[in-house]
């Protein structure tokens, strides 16, 4: 499902599955756009639960590929404003987050940081932004947190009124667009070859 080129859109393209021991996650890329133009520095990777996507049952899998309106969020654990500014202790609550809407039977599907104690995957349907990861790599909390805050800051610039008092509000013209339902392993990048000999 391609982006429409209108408003603020976060395009998530699922690449495949990564597995570490008994834990499997979906690995994807993301890029934010405004009116179809990629927003500089708002790109990276996403970790989600395994598939196939399912919005009809609360089964801990990823949500279905599709287009989802975005809302601010104000919960005990995650929120879009007034989150913890502690930069010393990982995962102090509330952490930054955004809410996906129109997920049918699935509830509290958020974009939020990967956090301890489950840094390989911190999700029961949610989206964890991250830097590039190999299949055995875990996320880094403060790095993932910075990515979520960058998305929040971009959305606040897009729609300041949505963030004016910390109450949950749908963000006009803001969507997450998720592409793909891969169920095959995503290969790690090949290791670098031997050094060249002059």
pLDDT digits (tens, 9 = 90+) for 57-91: 989 999 999 999 999 999 999 999 999 999 999 99
Residue 26: its pLDDT value, please?
98
Mean pLDDT of the chain: 95
Q: How far apart are CA 183 and CA 180, in angstroms?
A: 10
Confidence of residue 194 (pLDDT cuts 50, 70, 90): low
Residue 193: its pLDDT value, please?
65
Nearest to residue 101, comparing CAs of 75, 67, 76?
67
For the entire predicted model, the pTM comes to: 0.95
Tokens at 135, concatenated: 């299949």
Tokens at 176, concatenated: 């997450």
Torsion of CA 69, 154, 124, 30, to 10 degrees: 90
Average pLDDT, stretch 169-178?
98
Residue 5: its pLDDT value, please?
97
Residue 29's beta-bridge partner residues? 13, 45
Percent of the chain with pLDDT over 70: 95
Confidence of residue 166 (pLDDT cuts 50, 70, 90): confident
Tokens at 177, concatenated: 């667009």
Burial of 69 (0-12, 13-18, 19+ CB in 10 A): middle
For tokens 């959305």, name the residue: 155
Tokens at 67, concatenated: 């287009």
Average pLDDT, stretch 166-180?
97
Residue 197 confidence (pLDDT) above 90? no
Residue 192: its pLDDT value, please?
65
Confidence of residue 189 (pLDDT cuts 50, 70, 90): confident
For the chain, state the CA radius of gyration.
Answer: 17
Residue 188: its pLDDT value, please?
87
Give the domain ranges of the chain: 8-179
Residue 1: its pLDDT value, please?
72
Residue 196: its pLDDT value, please?
61
Residue 165 confidence (pLDDT) above 60? yes
């Amino acid at each position: 499902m391609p982006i429409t080129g209108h408003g603020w859109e976060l395009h998530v393209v699922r690449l495949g599955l990564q597995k570490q021991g008994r834990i499997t996650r979906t690995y994807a890329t993301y890029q934010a756009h405004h009116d179809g133009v990629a927003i500089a520095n708002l790109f990276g990777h996403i970790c989600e639960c395994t598939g196939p996507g399912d919005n009809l049952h609360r089964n801990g899998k990823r949500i279905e590929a599709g287009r989802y309106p975005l809302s601010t969020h104000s919960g005990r654990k995650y929120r879009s404003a007034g989150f913890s500014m502690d930069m010393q202790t990982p995962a102090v609550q509330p952490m930054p987050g955004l809410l996906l809407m129109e997920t049918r039977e699935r509830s509290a599907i958020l974009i939020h940081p990967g956090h301890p104690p489950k840094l390989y995957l911190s999700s029961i349907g949610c989206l964890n932004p991250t830097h590039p990861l190999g299949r055995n790599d875990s996320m880094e909390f403060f790095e993932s947190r910075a990515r979520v805050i960058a998305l929040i800051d971009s959305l606040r610039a897009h729609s300041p009124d949505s963030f004016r008092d910390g109450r949950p509000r749908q963000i006009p013209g803001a969507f997450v667009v998720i592409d793909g339902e891969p169920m095959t392993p995503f290969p790690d990048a090949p290791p670098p070859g031997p050094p060249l000999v002059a």
